[in-house]
Amino acid sequence: MSDEPRFLRPDVIIEPLVDRFYAWLHTVSPVQAAMNLAFVQLPLLESYLQSPQVHINASRNPALRGGLFVNIEESRSEEVRELVAAIKRDRAEMLNFATAIAEAEDLVRQSATGFDLTPLYPKLPSVLSGLVEIAYDTSNQPAMRYIEPLTYESSIYTEDRQSVQLSLETGIERPFILSTPRLNSPKVLELGIPFRHPGLEELFKSRVHGAPLSRLRQMLELDDDEAAALSRLMAPEPDLAADRHIDNGGRVRYFGHACLVMQTPEAAIITDPWVSSQASATDRFTYRDLPDYIDLALITHGHQDHIVLETLLSLRGRVGAIVVPRSSRGNLVDPSLALYLSHLGLPAIEVDDFSAVEFPGGKVTATPFLGEHADLDVRAKSTYCVQFADRNVFVGADSSGIDPGLYTYIRNRVGQVDMAFLGMECAGAPLTWLYGALLTQPITKKMSDSRTLSGSNAKQAAAIMTELGASEAYVYAMGEETWLVGHVMATSYNDDSYQLKQVDEFMTWCADHGIKSDHLFGQHEWRW
C-alpha cells in the first residue's frame, strides 16, 4: 500500500451510530441513552416488526414527515429482528436501568412528600446506588439528580454500542435520524470503533494534511476489503478552496442552518458546526471552504441540529476547543455537553453566562439563552457575543424573545451589537417529540402541544433588536436547507407556513426601523 500521502475527499460523510441508531446527545449520554433505547427506540423497532408496511408507507407520506416511523424496506425486516434481539441481549443493563429510573421516579413522586428523604434511599432500585441524589426545591417538589460523571463509569455506558459508517454524499436525503437505524450496506465502509478512536482523527486531518494509506489502514485496523473501500474515499491531491483564508480585515460566512464561520487573518470561529459534504455544489459552502485550523467551535445548545456529531468528528484535529454551555449537573433533561464531548475525544471548554473565552485578536462572551426547550429546566444553552475585527456579532441561535428585558442587560454587558443572528423557528415541535423518552409520567397531548421548541416570532425578534440596539439582523437556523438538515430536522415549509410569514413580518419591521436585514438561505458572505 502506497506511502504517498492521500487526502480525504470533501464529499465523504461519517454517520456515528449507537446500536445502529444515529448518535446524538440523547442517544449517547448514559442516562438519556438508556431511556431512549428502552422507551422509544426498542418499542419503535418492535412496532415496525409488527407491520413493516405501515411504517414504510408513513415514512413516505409528506404529511407525516418527522414522525417516528422506521424507513426500512420489508425485505430487510429480518435484519431489524436481529437488531432487536441484539439490543435485548447486549443492552440488558441499559434497559434495566431505564426501568429502574421509572420505578424510582414513581417512588419519589409517591413517597417524597416534604418529609425526611433518608428512608427512601434503601428503597431505590439497586442499580441506581451511588448514582443519584434526591432533593426538594423550596416548594417541596422532589426530584432525582444524577451524578453524571459516574454514569459514564457505570455499566450502562459502553463504547461497544458505537460504530461509524463512512460513505460518499449522494445528494439523496438520508433517512430521518430519530426514527431509522442504519443497516450495513455495500455502499458504506462500516467500522466498529468508538467515536474517540485516534484513527478517525488521523483520517479527518488528512483532508488538509494528507496521510499515507498504509498508516490510516494500520491505525484503523482495516482488512484488505476495508482498505480498498477506504482508498475510494481518498484522493491524491487535497480539494480545498483557494479563498478559505483571508489576509486582511474580517469575514463572516453563513454555511447553512446555524453554522457561521467568522474569520480574521489570525483566527477562525465556527458556530454550531454543520458543514455540507456536497463538494460539487456551487450554491453552498462545503468542507472545501473551511479554514485549515479553527480556534473555537461555539455550541449554543444540545438539540440535534446544533451539536452535530458528524461535523464535530470531521473537525477533530483541526479545532482548538469546543465551547459549550454548562448544564445543571444531573437534571434528567439536561445532560452535560462537556462530559458528552470529552468522552468522544473532543476538547470541550465549559462556559457559564457571561464567561469569556479569548482567541487571537478577539473574545467570545457567553450570554443567556431563553426558552425553546418546552419549559423544561435545561441550562446547557447559551447565546454568544463574538468580538473580532472591530465588530460585535450576536449569535442568538434558537433563543426566544420571551422576555426582552434580558437583552437590555446583555447590551449593557457586551456593548452595542453590530450584527445579530436570530433563529425564528417559531412554531417548533411539541415537548414529547424530543423529550418523550425522558417523561416517566404520562402527559396529555394538549399539555405537550402547548410547550414547544420554538424560537422568536416577529414581535419577539423585533423586541430583541430594540433592546440590543443592533444595526443589522439576519434570520437563520430555520432548517430550510433541506440538503443539509432534512435527515436531522425533517422540517417542511411552504409559502403559507406561519414561521415564514413571521420572518416576512420581521423583515418589514426592520425596514421600517432602518435596520438592515436578511433571511438567510444556503450561503451568504459579509466581508470588510
Radius of gyration of the chain (CA): 23
Instruction: Identify the residue among 148, 201, 398, 480 touching Fe ion (CB under 5 A).
Output: 398
Q: Which is nearer to Fe ion, 165 or 276 (CB)?
A: 276
Stretch that binds Fe ion, among 53-61, 113-121, 128-136, 295-303 (CB under 5 A): 295-303
Let me know: does 250 contact 266? Beta carbons within 8 Å: no
Q: How far is the CB of 303 from Fe ion (least distance, A)?
A: 4
Binding-site residue total for Fe ion (CB under 5 A)? 3
Q: With binding defined as CB under 5 A, does residue 305 bind Fe ion?
A: yes
DSSP assignment of 53-72 equals HHHHHHHT-GGGTTSS----
Q: Which is nearer to Fe ion, 305 or 334 (CB)?
A: 305
Q: With binding defined as CB under 5 A, does residue 169 bind Fe ion?
A: no
Q: How far is the CB of 53 from Fe ion (least distance, A)?
A: 33
Q: How far is the CB of 1 from Fe ion (least distance, A)?
A: 43
Phi, psi of 391 (to 5 degrees): -125, 155
Strands ordered across the beta sheet of 268-271: 348-351, 319-325, 294-298, 268-271, 259-263, 251-256, 524-527
Instruction: Identify the residue among 26, 182, 303, 411 touching Fe ion (CB under 5 A).
Output: 303
Q: How far is the CB of 487 from Fe ion (least distance, A)?
A: 15
CA-based torsion, 399, 404, 409, 411: positive or negative: positive
Q: How far apart are CA 380 and CA 369, in angstroms?
A: 9
Q: Which is nearer to Fe ion, 197 or 303 (CB)?
A: 303
Phi, psi of 171 (to 5 degrees): 85, -10
Contacts of residue 244, defined as CB under 8 A and 6 or more positions apart, other chains included, come to 288, 289, 290, 291, 292
Stretch that binds Fe ion, among 15-23, 316-324, 393-401, 406-414 (CB under 5 A): 393-401
Q: Which is nearer to Fe ion, 318 or 373 (CB)?
A: 373
Residue 40: all three cell numbers together: 422509544
Q: How far is the CB of 372 from Fe ion (least distance, A)?
A: 5
Q: How far apart are CA 330 and CA 336, in angstroms?
A: 8
Q: Which amino acid is at 51?
A: S
Stretch that binds Fe ion, among 73-81, 291-299, 398-406, 442-450 (CB under 5 A): 398-406
Q: Beta strand 348-351 with 319-325: parallel, antiparallel or unpaired?
A: parallel
Q: How far is the CB of 373 from Fe ion (least distance, A)?
A: 7
Q: Beta strand 524-527 with 251-256: parallel, antiparallel or unpaired?
A: antiparallel
Q: How far is the CB of 401 from Fe ion (least distance, A)?
A: 15
Q: Which is nearer to Fe ion, 268 or 489 (CB)?
A: 489
Stretch that binds Fe ion, among 157-165, 191-199, 262-270, 299-307 (CB under 5 A): 299-307
Stretch that binds Fe ion, among 140-148, 298-306, 321-329, 497-505 (CB under 5 A): 298-306
Q: How far apart are CA 158 and CA 164, in angstroms?
A: 15
Place of cell 468528528: 313
Q: Which is nearer to Fe ion, 77 or 456 (CB)?
A: 456
- The DSSP H or E segment spanning 508 is helix 498-512
Interactions with Fe ion, residue window 214-273 (CB under 5 A): none
Stretch that binds Fe ion, among 297-305, 440-448, 468-476, 518-526 (CB under 5 A): 297-305
Q: How far apart are CA 376 and CA 105, in angstroms?
A: 17
Q: How far is the CB of 398 from Fe ion (least distance, A)?
A: 4
Q: Which is nearer to Fe ion, 12 or 307 (CB)?
A: 307
Q: By CB under 5 A, name the binding residues for Fe ion.
A: 303, 305, 398
